[in-house]
Amino acid sequence: MAQLPHSLRDNVRLLGELLGDTLLKHEGPKIFKKVEDIRTQGKHVVGESADAQGLLTLLSSVEDHEVLPITRSFNQFLNLANIAEQEFSASVEAGTDDHLDQLLVKQVATLGKDELAKVVNSLKIELVLTAHPTEVTRRTLIHKYDKIADSLSSLRRADLLPHEISQEQSNLSRLIEEIWTTDEIRNERPTAVDEARWGFAVIESSLWQAVPDFIRHLDGLSRKRLGKGLALNAAPFAFYSWMGGDRDGNPNVTHDVTEKVLLLGRWMAASLYLKDIKSLAGDLSMSAASAELIAQLPEGSKTPYRDILAPVASLLENTVSWANDKLRGNDVYAASNTLLTERAQVLSTLELCHRSLCEQGLEEIANGPLTDCIRRFNCFGINLVPLDIRQDGERHVKVLDELTQYLDMPEYRGKGSYIEWDEDARQAFLLEQLESKRPLFPRNWRCSDDSQEVLATCRVIAQEPEETLSQYVISMAQQPSDVLAVSLLLKECGMTWNMPVVPLFETLDDLDRAPSVMNRLWQMHWYQTYSAGHQTVMIGYSDSAKDAGKLAATWAQYKAQEQLVKIADKYGVQLVLFHGRGGTVGRGGGPVEKAMASQPPGSVKGVIRVTEQGEMIRYKFGRKRVAFKSLSTYVTANLLATLAPDAAPKPEWRELIEVMSKVSLEAYRAVVRGHPDFVPYFRSLTPEQELSKLALGSRPAKRKATGGVESLRAIPWVFAWMQVRLNLPAWLGTGQALKHAQEEYPETLQDMLVNWPFFESFMDLLEMVLGKADLQVSAHYESQLVDPAVRPLGQRLRGDLAELGEIILKLKGQDNLLDHDPVLQSTLSVRKPYVDPLNFLQVELLKRERKAGSISADLERALKVTMTGISAGMRNTG
């Protein structure tokens, strides 16, 4: 087993010792000793043959009043270990050769400087920030964790004086004490507006500086390697948001919420830009200016740059004041030309200043904070993150069904109301109405409250400045009519511009159908005009994996993308594939570089759109240094996938993965859908029902209030299995597929593993999932919580998981899982003595509550802490 690097091990030890000091101070020597004894005993539970009885015996002696401080101590150690690891990762990256620089050097030799410069300037990485229904960490603690990371970063400096070292250590001690005396469990669910505010805060505290810093770095590399820098308006990144716009299955996101979030974004953006403009006005004190700039000012201006920026500052001040009044509930009016409603209102002036400074030979001044401000405007727009609207396609169908019933249209194509029409009839009706100049909605029509909300959202969209919005995403899209329906509803609600409508294909059947759906759409003359040769299609990772299992879903996603690219090329459509990835492997997550490298050839082309969920936003963009690294990783991976895509899979690979996919699908569904004991086993083994105790995100755990496992969202589905350390969604069915391939086509399987990045990436992520699983822990959950009558299913599942592990080791020629990633292997080993006690305590608390119907307030809080602690230890929730 590899050891942790010294600097990481030292930081983990330092934070652990400071936490121990805090525990001793606040909880006393008895609790401190029990925590140490449990930790020591936990270190003996190593390997599959390890005996956990000593740890279980020790835990059984814990008194009720001791459970909460013990669970809290293990939870906070895992959180502190995460901080140390993240800070170590950022520092290591900063100290290594720049992978992006190396890639540019390599590609110059292949493409030449001019062609490579064109590609670099045209990069477009669209990151869509979404809320996380299982984000378990309170915002107030996140801020304290960030301060701890800052102190660890400061302690790395070689020039620190002794008193400065002492001060930083004192800061760490104080922060850990603040954390210990703060309740880590959120008592109230955040609202959708709260989630949006958090997204804005990440931009203000981190990305606002990291984005221009990184673009300046990319510009420097371009000058160095390509002989020319980036264009002034180059914007390799654009950020968007679903927070306040994603109403799919979330009744808490209403049209009022969307309107408020859009307003908050405009207020926040104007406030941040105003600070920039005021700072620029102070910097640009020079008097020499171009004739073009002077011509726009009164004669005799001594400070032309300050004078030209004054109206911009006034515009932003008006916008801040107006938005602030509106947010306070005051009904105020302001003429659109007095408010910031589009980038050009400010960018034209900033670019004029830039040209003028360059003309006067002041390029260094022009390329300072002024250029940063221009790049921020190009990246963040007028409301920081233009909003996507997402709604379930079924809601639009219901609106149109109510409408056609009200209009008494059963004679249309000889069938009943809209919901009963076939796809051809729906398309004919929708196209007829879209091309008509007559309004469709009757003046006195009163639809249901649900449909009224859909229409109210469309009216809000129609009233907002175009630049505040991005796309309308249709969940569970199945047919071309789903896209046409949204276009019609927007038109009837007063939309004056063609908002892109994005079908989201989520289930296995929908993914298989996606190419034919888009083929029919792109054949329609009306839609060709509406979309103007641009189309985004969203690929769902979470629900497809929940529907079909990880392997079958992954291959279906690959095939759908392949075919969509071919069809888009046929029609001359500029296609952007929108990847709805989650944080976990079971929901399409994983390292960016692996995800990009495994895309079908030709599917990236410099442009990609990806969701980043709450938890991963914090891990990737929560701090400036880490955000810079993440931005660099995205650009490097995008360039590599664009310039050097891997060849299409060999026919024999394709044939084998097709067979494996079918074997995996059958095995997965035989358990999840076909086994009579699966639902009772899942509900008794995991804390799925108890997750509702955590005041997590604003979105309910289920799409519908009624329904069983099939209605459960993919995120809590993954969360529940991760809690019991079985991680079933990421591997179920895969073992049978690999075993079949190993027995029937061993040489082809090995060839795929070595030479096909798509399959290599899949196997690496699968190995990581198995590295985080623990058969002994999940068996303990079963022995204590599951009815003996259904336990045979659990024994079978654990047997499948163990066999899968052996197959992976044999295929990769390894002795242990994660031998190729010794740091992760070591960190998981270090975490195990802290996670295992939380698992065993969770089992006991679940058993008590289920038997008695309730437990004390402190024990219930301890149960919640076990959930957050296990999540921290596994470095993911859902």
Check if the beta carbon of residue 383 is closer than 8 Å to that of residue 267: no
From CA 539, how far away is CA 576, in angstroms rounded?
A: 11
Classify residue 786 as left (phi > 0), alpha (psi -120 to 50) or beta: beta
Check if the beta carbon of residue 428 is closer than 8 Å to that of residue 413: yes
Check if the beta carbon of residue 526 is closer than 8 Å to that of residue 435: yes
354 is catalytic: no
**Nearest in space to 503 (alpha carbons), one of 495, 491, 522:** 522
Packing angle of the helix pair 822-852, 775-785 (nearest 10 deg): 0
- By three-state DSSP, how is residue 703 classified? coil
- Strand-pairing partners, residue 127, are 239, 610
- By three-state DSSP, how is residue 237 classified? strand
Which is it for the CA torsion 238, 273, 259, 530, positive or negative?
Answer: negative
629 is catalytic: no
Check if the beta carbon of residue 839 is closer than 8 Å to that of residue 871: no
At residue 825, what is the residue type? Answer: Q
Check if the beta carbon of residue 875 is closer than 8 Å to that of residue 816: no
Residues in contact with 443: Cβ distance below 8 Å, sequence separation at least 6, in sequence order: none
From CA 647, how far away is CA 758, in angstroms rounded?
A: 11
CA neighbours closer than 13 Å in the CB half-sphere of residue 816 = 14
From CA 229, how far away is CA 185, in angstroms rounded?
A: 48
Instruction: Exactly one of 34, 132, 144, 255 is catalytic; name it.
Output: 132
Instruction: Exactly one of 546, 550, 740, 832 is catalytic; name it.
Output: 546
Helix and strand totals (H; E) in the chain: 36, 8
From CA 831, how far away is CA 547, in angstroms rounded?
A: 32
Instruction: Count CB atoms within 10 A of the CB of residue 533.
Output: 13
Residues in contact with 796: Cβ distance below 8 Å, sequence separation at least 6, in sequence order: none
From CA 389, how far away is CA 780, in angstroms rounded?
A: 44
Per-residue tokens: 760: 């290599």
**Taking the CA atoms of the chain, what radius of gyration do you get in angstroms?**
28
**Nearest in space to 374 (alpha carbons), one of 227, 215, 608:** 215
Check if the beta carbon of residue 405 is closer than 8 Å to that of residue 237: no
Residues catalogued as catalytic: 132, 546
